[in-house]
Chains A and B, each alone.
Chain A
């Protein structure tokens, strides 16, 4: 009854890490979904999701109110690209699932879904270097597990449905507080139809040694994925979270619109690593923000390679004294892609510091945009921000834009912003060709050099894969 549609090349064991190489994710299985909210968005869709999930009344009310906010807000095309107008909300399927409860072992996961994640190398990675994994297939997590040693420390790692149902005392307090429903049109959409994502709580003083990982997989056509993630790191704790994603290449548009909220309480550290590699038909419109309390540190490492249009500006609200925020961003835009990425740093306490380093590469007709905001309101002292954005243009018709907005009040703070645009120097290419490299190899080496200092901050497996992907992209780009 379940046929296998295989539209991509076979996965090999050579590259265990899926997430960077586009071709690896380009396959789909025909899954019989038990739950389907149908096509289009209305109050009925929202009620269906809420009923299927057996949610508390306050969540249903929260969703309904969010739907109204979504419907009342205009598309932000007065500053954003008009490509947003090509999203047809009536043609999207908002909820597709085979079941609500994630399995705790891979053996229990239905065969076709398990096969998907095996092809993407997720179970293998879990064994090798992860403290816990959640694997989301369309709307719901198919698998979620945390290593016993980590669970014993009191770390909670569940999906959003379980989190709100089983630990309301922990999660309700911060849910929707870092990113309110009305923050923007897409955060409202997510708040109305959210499903899946991770809810994590790390108790005081616990340092999770290995990363926790979530993997998001879109399998169905015309589908919208709306995961919701909330990570709370209690006082003095530390956690690293990694997310990866893939989707098959469909001819129609797919929508991914997540909301990710991070809360780092006093002295806590959260590092959030994203490797975004959606297929080129995906609209990826994501709101990510962290709230850093006193002496806490939130670091976003954000790598955008896939999607048709990504709009994502991870932010940190520096709420407590000496809090620190950081965004490290790498974007690669190839033909037909627009990576509109950046960072937001909202300083709200004395002596808070923030750092943004963004590097983008535009290949062919690709377009990379940096959009940033730094805000230091009055009566603060000792706040500092440093922002650097460098863009590399590979071909004559590649495009890059930079749109920062910096507001500083008062004389006791300092900010600096610098941006540069360049191409790979001909001298450098010539030098390498003299030494026997092909033009493509020389170009790869130069581009890898450009992002090297940022790529090193990724886990090893990812930075190796990233390098390999750049080699691939550069091969066809010169000559």
Chain B
């Protein structure tokens, strides 16, 4: 057997064949040369890479058998979208359905005057090409989802582009809604946020479906770029159909004295993978990574994080909390990397799993790779049930066990919500979790 005779089996592409890719390109308006070239290169990468297998260290404990790309199709344009609100007034709202813009409202009249751009990526590619080119999917996929990141880039139709110029503070949050509608729909949502020097902005990214029985595929990404002294608050709420396979990849770049706070709320999907990559690139950079997951039924939530300290005097703080019910599974795999010159790094990573069922399974892989000595790095992971003494205390005061457990679970989440500096956001999210926890999705 000679080497020339050996041909590897073609990597699986599922529904995303070359023909499907060409059809996708044909459906788009004329694209800038560079973007078209990148999409083509991304398709080649996607088609060449194998699907993850059980022995891939970055997919350890994941249900790799669930990662199927078969049977999905580009969805038809939507005629209506579900009602979704998180009860907050907003500065602007963009609604995407099945990958295309459904509606766009600029609610704060002075946004445009102050130079804030809240627009679609398709428009931004024409009007803010240089900014988009600099930041759109510009960071490497380092957490194992190379194939899916390439799929996202190749099939990306449209997404949100938010640019806040130097020194501008946007007081009210900007809401981005992405819906997948219909069985077999495949969507590729994207949110790109660029905050220039000293700018401030809050973005709420909402992902949802019409109902929980639709089998869907969502391969999303978001890029957050905080320039010198900028502050970005990002809240992601993932509430896809409970039959969806969802893969989301987040990339955060934090420059000098800038600060990014992100909180991801994971509720939906059959199997959801979330990768979050924070790069602390200059002194004074700060990244706070928060997550709350309510895992129920047979859901699997697979969260992979990377905090990279590339400069001295940077800080990162991660707190991921999971509540597990029924037969749910969670995986948390985190890594703090401190580069050789990143002295005076202050990094923290914590994963807390609350077991509310005897059949649930929590996996924790909290990791550290430290190459500088003058640092403060700690991590912790715990997995346990509700404290029986606390439960007893409440029951002794006449609160039924069920209600006591609910209260203690909300208390468990409250530690994360308390990190949000904006009170109304905190209140809105608390309400959301309480309804979700009660299992009452209709009241959403």
Contacts and interface: CB of A to CB of B under 8 A. Distances in A.
B133 interface: no
Contacts of A124: none
Contact of A420 (B55, B340, B371, B377): B377
Given A410-B359, A411-B356, A421-B378, A399 B367 contact: no
B431 interface: no
B134 interface: no
B356 to A, nearest CB: 6
B440 interface: no
B383 interface: yes
Contact of A406 (B374, B376, B383): B383
B366 A404 contact: yes
A403 interface: yes
Interface stretch (B56-64, B106-114, B119-127): B56-64
A109 interface: no
Interface of A is mostly: strand
Nearest to A415: B383
Interface string B181-194: 00000000000000
Contact of B367 (A402, A411, A414): A402
Residue from A78, A391, A402, A413 whose CB has the most chain B CB atoms within 10 Å: A402
Contacts of B376: 421-422
B394 interface: no
Nearest to A375: B363
Nearest to A395: B373
Given A393-B370, A396-B374, A423-B373, A403 B365 contact: yes
Contacts, number: 129
Given A405-B365, A414-B384, A419-B380, A393 B373 contact: yes
A397 B340 contact: yes
B74 to A, nearest CB: 35
B144 to A, nearest CB: 12
Residue from B353, B368, B374 whose CB has the most chain A CB atoms within 10 Å: B368
A411 B360 CA distance: 8
A407 interface: yes
A401 B57 CA distance: 16
A52 B11 CA distance: 51
Nearest to A392: B373
A401 B361 contact: no
Given A406-B364, A410-B358, A411-B355, A78 B375 contact: no
Nearest to A367: B371
A395 B375 CA distance: 12
Residue from B365, B366, B383 whose CB has the most chain A CB atoms within 10 Å: B383
Nearest to A414: B384
A126 B359 CA distance: 53
A416 to B, nearest CB: 5
A396 B56 contact: no
A403 B366 CA distance: 6
B278 to A, nearest CB: 18
Given A402-B366, A408-B353, A396 B381 contact: no
B372 A411 contact: no
A404 B361 contact: no
B343 interface: yes
Nearest to B375: A421
B368 A378 contact: no
Residue from A394, A400, A403, A411 whose CB has the most chain B CB atoms within 10 Å: A411
Contact of B355 (A401, A407, A408, A416): A408
Interface string A408-445: 11111111111111110000000000000000000000
B145 to A, nearest CB: 17
A396 B338 CA distance: 12
Residue from A378, A379, A398, A419 whose CB has the most chain B CB atoms within 10 Å: A419
A335 B360 CA distance: 44
Contacts of B373: 393-398, 423
Given A415-B382, A418-B379, A401 B362 contact: no
B297 interface: no
A395 B374 CA distance: 9
Given A396-B343, A396-B372, A414-B385, A407 B359 contact: no
A378 B358 contact: yes
Contacts of B361: 378, 407-409
Nearest to B337: A401
B369 interface: yes
Given A404-B381, A418-B379, A78 B360 contact: no
B139 interface: no
Contacts of A419: 366, 368, 378-380
Contacts of B85: none
B380 A416 contact: yes
A79 B372 contact: no
Interface string B377-408: 11111111100000000000000000000000
A401 B370 contact: yes
A413 B361 CA distance: 11
Nearest to A391: B370
A409 B371 contact: no
Interface string B406-437: 00000000000000000000000000000000
B314 to A, nearest CB: 15
B382 A414 contact: yes
Contacts of A401: 367-370
Interface string A378-397: 11000000000001011111
Contacts of B379: 402, 417-419
A396 B375 CA distance: 10
Contacts of A78: 55-57
A407 B362 contact: yes
B357 interface: yes
Interface string B153-172: 00000000000000000000
Nearest to A420: B378
B360 to A, nearest CB: 7
Contacts of A411: 355-358, 360, 385
A412 B358 contact: yes
Contacts of A402: 366-368, 379
Given A399-B371, A406-B363, A79 B57 contact: yes
Interface string A50-83: 0000000000000000000000000000110000
Nearest to B385: A411
Interface string A306-317: 000000000000
A403 B371 CA distance: 15
Contacts of A379: 358
B63 to A, nearest CB: 14
Contacts of B360: 409-411
A134 B359 CA distance: 48
A419 B378 CA distance: 5
Contacts of A396: 340, 343, 372-374
A397 B341 CA distance: 9
Interface in A204-220: none
Nearest to B369: A401
List of 7 A-B pairs having minimum Cβ-Cβ separation, nearest first? A393-B373, A414-B384, A411-B355, A411-B385, A402-B368, A421-B377, A406-B364
Given A378-B359, A406-B362, A421-B370, 20 more contacts: A78-B55, A379-B358, A396-B343, A396-B372, A397-B340, A400-B368, A401-B367, A402-B379, A405-B60, A405-B61, A405-B363, A408-B361, A409-B360, A411-B385, A412-B358, A414-B383, A415-B383, A415-B384, A417-B382, A422-B375
15 contacts: A397-B340, A397-B371, A401-B370, A402-B366, A402-B367, A405-B363, A407-B61, A408-B361, A408-B363, A411-B355, A413-B383, A413-B384, A417-B366, A421-B375, A423-B375
